[in-house]
């Protein structure tokens, strides 16, 4: 089966094609192609994602990105089936009113997309239905519906966070296009999802069944990285910049200028809070800024970045260990964009070693948002597939 994945929950427009099969009762998959168009540079001037702009960009990007993906993957998906102009127009017709009102850019690019008349060998479309920014989710969902109507294939709504979970089960070293099995997952698995919008501990008794056992009461961890970065004058998204400064501080043995709190580490639950940590950074920055120019010294920024990263790492580690103990976890999955952080990866590796259980983290190229993980989650979804996506998030991850 060949699945097209569509991801537009935030500021990345992403499309991917995977193939799946079940050999001797074992699920196998291979990546046919995966493309991500990041809007980060565009949003960086606003210090965060600007939803209306993100929506418009997805509308502009989706059709050209799909054209590229289908051209790149011709060998795997080409067929001789072609829609007539009449059939193409008839399939598009029910969407025209909504598109012209809601997303003229997407409408404009669709009217010139003659390549869509060539029906590819795709069996299903998996699309992120939430959680995410509602206006941007709708662009992806609308696009999925249109393609589904044109090519007469079913649509599977996918929960973005479930995508991050299953994405971590792909091998990082599989040669491109080769068949691979998902990583062996002793159950129950405990998942730590750390992204720009979420910080959650999710108990996974089996794939497809998810229970949120802890989450942030305020800011997400990625959001805290982004806000701290902004406070010290670094562009959005701030996580990679903070991480780089922290590495420099460690290499140059720069002492931390302040001691930041490790929020909620004494509480005996699996919840998080990062807004106090961010506020502590705000005060530290105010105190350290030059009274006339407001400038901060380089060594202050580096030391602060390292202390912040350490505070986050210690907090996440305490909570992760607590969850492993409480649920007698047999394996650990880490998902979400913040999992790209080097210090965090090292800490999680230590924890897995300490418990003697496997740890699965996404490889660097899929730690951020991508459609590979969405296609995979759609492929693993065993529910009936008549469901319409709603942009409300599926119930299964409590959204």
Binding site for ligand KG4 (CB under 6 A): 10, 195-197, 222, 225-226, 237-240, 243, 336-338, 340-341, 368-369
Interface with Zn ion by CB under 5 A: which range of 137-145, 251-259, 364-372, 375-383?
A: 364-372
Our CB check for Zn ion shows the closer of 195 and 394 to be 195
Our CB check for ligand KG4 shows the closer of 44 and 118 to be 44
Site for Zn ion in 238-267 (CB under 5 A): none
Q: What's the Cα-to-Cα distance from 220 to each of 7, 41, 226, 233, 272, rounded to whole Å?
A: 20, 21, 10, 20, 9
Contacts of 312 (CB under 8 A, 6+ apart): 221, 224, 225, 274, 277, 344
Residue nearest to Zn ion (CB): 195
Our CB check for ligand KG4 shows the closer of 20 and 341 to be 341
Our CB check for ligand KG4 shows the closer of 70 and 224 to be 224
C-beta separation of 125 from 69 below 8 A: no
* Smallest distance, ligand KG4 to C-beta of residue 100, A: 30
Cα–Cα distance between 149 and 80 in angstroms, integer? Answer: 18
Our CB check for ligand KG4 shows the closer of 51 and 188 to be 51
Interface with Zn ion by CB under 5 A: which range of 147-155, 184-192, 193-201, 284-292?
A: 193-201
Our CB check for ligand KG4 shows the closer of 150 and 306 to be 306
* Smallest distance, ligand KG4 to C-beta of residue 338, A: 4
Cα–Cα distance between 231 and 214 in angstroms, integer? Answer: 28
* Smallest distance, Zn ion to C-beta of residue 197, A: 7
* Smallest distance, Zn ion to C-beta of residue 165, A: 11
- Sort 237 into a burial class: Cβ within 10 Å, 0-12 / 13-18 / 19+: buried
Interface with Zn ion by CB under 5 A: which range of 62-70, 195-203, 278-286, 301-309?
A: 195-203
Our CB check for ligand KG4 shows the closer of 20 and 200 to be 200
* Smallest distance, ligand KG4 to C-beta of residue 290, A: 27
The one of ligand KG4, Zn ion, none whose footprint includes residue 225, by CB under 5 to 8 A per kind, is: ligand KG4
What value does the CA radius of gyration of the chain take, rounded to a whole number of Å? 22
The one of ligand KG4, Zn ion, none whose footprint includes residue 376, by CB under 5 to 8 A per kind, is: none
Contacts of 104 (CB under 8 A, 6+ apart): 59
Among 159, 191, 195, 216, which residue interacts with Zn ion (rule: CB under 5 A)? 195
C-beta separation of 351 from 317 below 8 A: yes
Interface with Zn ion by CB under 5 A: which range of 44-52, 189-197, 231-239, 279-287?
A: 189-197
* Smallest distance, ligand KG4 to C-beta of residue 172, A: 16
Contact call for residue 369 and Zn ion (CB under 5 A): yes
Residue 103 is encoded by which pair of tokens?
């997303």
The one of Zn ion, ligand KG4, none whose footprint includes residue 107, by CB under 5 to 8 A per kind, is: none
Our CB check for ligand KG4 shows the closer of 341 and 394 to be 341
Our CB check for ligand KG4 shows the closer of 77 and 280 to be 280
The one of ligand KG4, Zn ion, none whose footprint includes residue 63, by CB under 5 to 8 A per kind, is: none
The label of the residue with tokens 């997309």 reads 113
Binding-site ranges for Zn ion (CB under 5 A): 195, 369
């Amino acid at each position: 089966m060949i699945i097209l994945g569509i991801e537009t929950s935030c500021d990345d427009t992403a499309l991917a094609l995977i193939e799946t099969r079940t050999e001797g009762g074992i699920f196998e998959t291979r990546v046919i192609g995966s493309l991500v168009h990041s809007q980060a540079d565009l949003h960086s001037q606003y210090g965060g994602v600007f939803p209306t702009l993100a929506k418009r960009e997805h509308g502009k990007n989706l059709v050209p990105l799909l054209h590229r993906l289908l051209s790149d993957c011709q060998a795997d998906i080409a067929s001789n089936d072609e829609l007539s102009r009449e059939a193409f127009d008839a399939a598009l017709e029910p969407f025209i009113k909504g598109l012209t009102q809601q997303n003229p850019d997407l409408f404009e690019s669709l009217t010139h997309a003659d390549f869509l008349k060539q029906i590819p060998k795709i069996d299903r479309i998996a699309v992120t239905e939430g959680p995410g920014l509602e206006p941007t989710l709708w662009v992806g969902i609308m696009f999925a519906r249109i393609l589904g109507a044109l090519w007469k294939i079913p649509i599977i709504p996918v929960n973005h966070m479930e995508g991050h979970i299953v994405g971590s089960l792909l091998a990082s070293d599989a040669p491109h296009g080769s068949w691979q099995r998902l990583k062996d997952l002793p159950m129950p698995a405990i998942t730590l999802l750390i992204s720009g919008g979420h910080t959650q501990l999710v108990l996974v008794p089996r794939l497809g069944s998810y229970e949120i056992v802890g989450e942030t009461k305020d800011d997400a961890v990625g959001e805290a990285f982004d806000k701290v970065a902004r406070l010290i004058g670094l562009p959005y998204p701030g996580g990679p910049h903070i991480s780089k400064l922290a590495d420099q501080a460690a290499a140059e043995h720069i002492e931390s200028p302040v001691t930041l709190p490790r929020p909620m580490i004494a509480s005996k639950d699996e919840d998080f809070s990062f807004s106090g940590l961010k506020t502590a950074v705000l005060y530290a920055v105010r105190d350290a800024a030059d009274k006339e120019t407001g400038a901060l010294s380089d060594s202050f920024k580096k030391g602060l970045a390292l202390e912040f990263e350490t505070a986050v790492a210690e907090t996440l580690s305490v909570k992760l260990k607590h969850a492993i103990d409480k649920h007698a976890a047999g394996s650990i999955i880490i998902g979400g964009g913040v999992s790209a952080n080097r210090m965090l990866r090292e800490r999680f590796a230590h924890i897995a070693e300490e418990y003697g259980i496997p740890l699965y983290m996404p490889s660097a190229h899929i730690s951020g948002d991508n459609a590979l993980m969405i296609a995979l989650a759609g492929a693993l979804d065993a529910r009936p597939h008549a469901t319409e996506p709603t942009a409300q998030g599926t119930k299964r991850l409590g959204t």
